[in-house]
Amino acid sequence: MAEKTKAKKKSTVTKKAKKKQEKQTLVIVESPGKVKTIEKYLGTSYNVKASMGHLIDLPKSRTAVDVDNNFEPEYITVRGRAKILKELQSDAKKSGRILLACDNDREGEAIAWHLRKAITAKKDDVPIERISFNEITPQAVQEAVLNPRTIDESKVAAQKARRVLDRLVGYNLSPLLWKKVKNGLSAGRVQSVALRLICEREKEVESFIPDEYWTLEAEFKIGKTSYTAQLVLWNNAKPVLKNEAEVKAIIEKIKDNEFTVSDVRQTDKTIRPKAPFTTSQMQQTAANKLGFTSRKTMQVAQQLYEGVAIGASRVGLITYMRTDSVRISQTALEDVRAWLDKNHPKELPEKPIEYTVGKNAQDAHEAIRPTYTEYTPDSIKEYLSKDQLRLYTIIWERFVSSQMTNAKSRTISMDIKVVAGNEEGLFRVSGTKLIEKGFYKVVKLLSSKEDNTGSCPSLEVNDKVKMDKFKNEQHFTQGPSRYSDASIVRTLEEKGIGRPSTYASIISVLLDRYYVTRSNKQLVPTVLGKLISDVLVEHFPLYVDADFTASMEAKLDDVEDNKVSWPEMIREFWSPFKTTVDDVTKNIESFKGILDEPTSHTCEKCGKPMVKKLGRYGFFLACSGFPECRNTKSIPLAKCPKCGGDIVARKTKGKSKEFYGCANYPECDFISHFKPLNQDCPKCGFFLVEKYDKKNGAHKLCINPDCDYLHSADEEE
């Protein structure tokens, strides 16, 4: 009987040990998009779950930072995320081991830190470790699982410092704007600097007056081919042709004279491949080549990183897409060189090409690259959406070409001289062609001007050429361009403002708050955005200064590098900032209603006068009888040239695209796709609009198709 009892106890112990041994390892990632991919790589002994980003953060309803107690933040479970956290805690209790696989950056480290704390509070005897990987491939994920690490407390401290800093700025400036400008407004530490840059550029655009100038070209027939040459010198000086009359005067002088080749030059140029993408470079190139916004670029890149089904397998196609480094791992270099040796052996350099990492780069991650070079865009295009394929293509081309030999181009320039009495002109024609393709052998979507072959006639000095015809063309000088997604990201990066993870969100916040709008892919500040920027620049010049903001980013880096404690960094900032906020709040005059204007419009509902007001989405007309009468309507932008009615902003049904039409529609069907300006044409009386094209940039012109008026410097004289 005793032996049976002993055997039963032994069996129970064995079962418990076996049960403990069979417990799954819980792997927690941030995004649900990674779950399926990583599950396939790790197998059934691993349970992969997603935290869906931050589960624990500062509350939105209050500042929640104890400024008297080392700026300690008050963290709570994010509203609507309690169920997810509870499920993760429940899964943790059933697991034999927990691996926190959040993104390998400050935000990811902070998410892992909060998850560890929340899980330990419910079950403190389960081992919790941190893993990270730069790419979601079987090798990278499995290596990470075999080599876990501890949570990087310095990264957590840097994220905490940034979060507290942004909260103190936003939750002190925003109430001031509510009180003094308008309810519902908000200001941010980095976004306000970006807004200032956009507003300052807009002032330059608005103050620019275009100058008229002309160019003169001559077409020469050489054999069966025509070549166009431009007049580059007139009487040994660069021609300054202010009007058509000056151009025609030159044509009259030279049209019947002899044209002779006076010089032929050949120039060879070496073209080096560019480094693989950083986040900002990817966003800029995607904007310029693909027309993507920064937000769209990051969304598509996230999909490629998290994994795409390629046949029966699921593969993470690119490395982590938030990076400021151009560094490449040894494994990746060996992979791309093996592919090049097989497919383009003549373009494979003897040694791998190294690129210099920028001085401000954190260098936490590799450059953005394909995880497997053999997955060429053509080989996997059937598995990708159109946008995924286009973005993957430029990433693949940029990376592979970066490890190939230089290209060489040859430019042949030919000068053609014409003499007319004591005066002479020089026309120049050039043609460029690639004589060694080098890295251009893999570049298609990313091809640039250097890749376009051109031809130049094969002539010698003193050869006579026959002039076929002249072509004179009117131009206008272009002022500074408004910022686009690409150029504002480039400027922020150059000035050290923001980090790879924040560029897209900076632009998105300004657009979402309606401080900025997009027009012809350019960022244009609204009246509301200009007002907020003016208030902040006048009363908080230091805190919306680019250099100061960049210095704060550098101090956050110092926290991560353990050079300074985060409370010390915040304390240094907080005292002078709070003093400034208190002084401004006390002394600044109220701007509420400053932009409200009485109008001649009458409310059709109650007969009271209408008032022009500034709302969240721009100006509108509101009844002065508010709140008894709540009638509002769009503000007239101009008078209709067909019937004299009001031109108002309208939107296409089911679409967000704005156009401008007559308020008397359907009786009057006049519409304009260009926004009317508050100016009448001095020639015909129609209204002026702002138009944008590549030739003239942003310029004002008359809406009347029969009127040739274009606002230029002549109008200012």
At which residue do the structure tokens 């209408």 appear? 610
At which residue do the structure tokens 């479970």 appear? 77
Backbone angles phi, psi at 357, to 5 degrees: -75, 135
Quote the pLDDT of residue 710: 64
Cβ contacts of 547 within 8 Å, gap of 6 or more: 495
Backbone angles phi, psi at 55, to 5 degrees: -105, -20
To which H or E segment does residue 522 belong?
A: strand 522-525
**In one letter, which amino acid is 255?**
K
pLDDT band at 715 (very low <50, low <70, confident <90, very high): very low
Choosing from 320, 392, 440, 660, which is the catalytic residue? Answer: 320
Instruction: Count the residues in the chain.
Output: 717
Q: What is the mean pLDDT of residues 379-390?
A: 96
145-201 residue pLDDT tens: 999 999 999 999 999 999 999 999 999 999 988 888 877 788 889 999 999 999 999
283-298 residue pLDDT tens: 999 999 999 999 999 9
| 91-105, 301-315, 594-608: the lowest-pLDDT one | 594-608
Pair 367, 333: CB distance under 8 Å: no
Q: What is the mean pLDDT of residues 110-139?
A: 92
Domains in the chain: ranges and CATH: 21-151 (3.40.50.140), 159-208+481-587 (1.10.460.10), 212-272+407-476 (2.70.20.10), 279-401 (1.10.290.10), 599-634 (no CATH), 636-717 (no CATH)
pLDDT band at 363 (very low <50, low <70, confident <90, very high): low
Quote the pLDDT of residue 78: 93
Rounded Cα gap, residues 252 and 234, in angstroms: 14
Q: Where are the beta strands (DSSP E) in 563-703?
A: 597-602, 609-615, 618-623, 632-634, 638-639, 646-651, 658-662, 671-672, 676-680, 687-693, 697-702
Biggest CA pair distance of the chain: 131
Q: What is the mean pLDDT of the chain?
A: 87
To which H or E segment does residue 343 belong?
A: helix 330-343
Three-class SS of 129-179: EECCCCECCHHHHHHHHHCCECCCHHHHHHHHHHHHHHHHHHHHHHHHHHH
Quote the pLDDT of residue 172: 93
Backbone angles phi, psi at 323, to 5 degrees: -155, 150
pLDDT band at 427 (very low <50, low <70, confident <90, very high): very high
Rounded Cα gap, residues 574 and 190, in angstroms: 16
Q: Which pTM value belongs to this model?
A: 0.80
Tokens of 35: 């779950």
Q: Does pLDDT of 221 surpass 90?
A: no
Pair 558, 360: CB distance under 8 Å: no
Quote the pLDDT of residue 360: 61
Quote the pLDDT of residue 696: 63
Q: What is the mean pLDDT of residues 129-146?
A: 93
What is the C-alpha end-to-end distance of the chain, expressed in Å? 117
Cβ contacts of 509 within 8 Å, gap of 6 or more: 188, 191
Q: Comparing C-alpha atoms, which of 372, 391, 371 is closest to residue 381?
A: 391
One-character DSSP codes across 561-579: TTSS-HHHHHHHHHHHHHH
Quote the pLDDT of residue 116: 96
| 331-335, 568-572, 589-593, 694-698: the lowest-pLDDT one | 694-698
pLDDT band at 479 (very low <50, low <70, confident <90, very high): confident
Residue 69, burial from CB neighbour count under 10 angstroms (0-12, 13-18, 19+)? exposed
Quote the pLDDT of residue 9: 46
- In percent, the amount of the chain with pLDDT more than 70 equals 91
Q: Is 320 annotated as catalytic?
A: yes
496-514 residue pLDDT tens: 888 888 888 999 999 988 8
Alpha helices in 368-466 (DSSP H): 377-380, 386-401
| CA gyration radius, the chain | 32
